[in-house]
Amino acid sequence: MTKNEYHHGNLKVELLKIAFDFIKENDVDNLTLKILGDATGTSRSAIYRHFASKDALIESMILDGFEHFDAMVTPILLDKNKHLIDRFYIAGKEYINFATDNPNLYRLLFGKKYAITRERLVSLKDEDCSGFGALKIAIEEGQANGILKKENSYEQSIVIWSSLHGLSSLIIDGFMDVGEIKDKLYDGMFDMFLSGIASNKIKLLSTLPFANKLMQPEK
């Protein structure tokens, strides 16, 4: 791709790609507009047409990062061709994998440092196909079908999301050496999650020999 092609509308996309590639191996604090300019061979003024500052770049990265995350999680949770329990299990697993595969991006999207910027740009209460919104919709589907307890779906979503965030942060930030047993920890957490929100009817049915796999996902 030539310098002129960048100036015909591809530069912003290329700059974001370079920024995301950079934070795969480096902390986002080390990212600068100069790094983007050096990588593309473009002038500072050309970069400023798209990102007036590093803060503007970070904002675009947050928005694009959430679009990528939501595009991964939302279709799983809303896919009614799969059993609801399987959807919960697979989506949760993808959440953990996203964090462990992209630790610096995960910290950018869900960490404390850019919380004010994030809260200004996105909201957990948005249900326009966001991952969190899709989780809430899936929980309400389970409530309507009698699978899950009929409690506050927003609060239930917060509890589940917080659990996934906690395990993800534990793994990527190394507070405990749990990386090698992350799958076992996730399965245990998932079982506790199901036990906590499953309806009494489903819990009773699950105790019967012919239905003891009713609340077990395919792994």
Structural domains of the chain, with CATH = 1-52 (1.10.10), 60-211 (1.10.357.10)
Residue 38 pLDDT > 80: yes
- Confidence bin at 20 (pLDDT 50/70/90): very high
Terminal-to-terminal C-alpha distance of the chain: 43
pLDDT in tens, 131-175: 999 999 999 999 999 889 899 999 999 999 999 999 999 899 876
For 86, residues 6+ apart whose C-beta sits below 8 A from its C-beta are 217, 218
- Confidence bin at 6 (pLDDT 50/70/90): very low
For 170, residues 6+ apart whose C-beta sits below 8 A from its C-beta are 176, 178
> 23: closest CA among 146, 109, 129?
109
pLDDT of residue 10: 83
Question: Do 62 and 117 form a contact (C-beta atoms < 8 A)?
Answer: yes
Amino acid letter, 144: A
Residue 36 pLDDT > 80: yes
* Percentage, residues of the chain above pLDDT 90: 57
Q: How far apart are CA 20 and CA 207, in angstroms?
A: 48
Q: How far apart are CA 53 and CA 47, in angstroms?
A: 9
Residue 206 pLDDT > 70: no
Q: How far apart are CA 213 and CA 144, in angstroms?
A: 21
Q: Which residue has the higher pLDDT, 81 or 177?
A: 81
pLDDT in tens, 65-117: 999 999 999 999 999 999 999 999 999 999 999 999 999 999 999 988 888 88
pLDDT of residue 124: 56
Q: How far apart are CA 176 and CA 171, in angstroms?
A: 7
Question: Do 145 and 84 form a contact (C-beta atoms < 8 A)?
Answer: yes
Q: How far apart are CA 58 and CA 80, in angstroms?
A: 35
pLDDT of residue 122: 79
**In the numeric block, which tokens belong to residue 38?**
């050096």
pLDDT of residue 17: 95
- Three-point CA angle 76, 81, 83, nearest 5°: 75
Mean pLDDT of 119-139: 80
Amino acid letter, 146: G
Q: How far apart are CA 112 and CA 106, in angstroms?
A: 11
Amino acid letter, 8: H
SS3 148: strand
Question: How many CA atoms, within 13 angstroms, populate the side-chain half-sphere of residue 65?
Answer: 25
pLDDT of residue 4: 42
Residue 180 pLDDT > 60: yes
Mean pLDDT of 189-195: 87
Q: How far apart are CA 159 and CA 173, in angstroms?
A: 21
- Confidence bin at 9 (pLDDT 50/70/90): low
pTM over 0.95: no
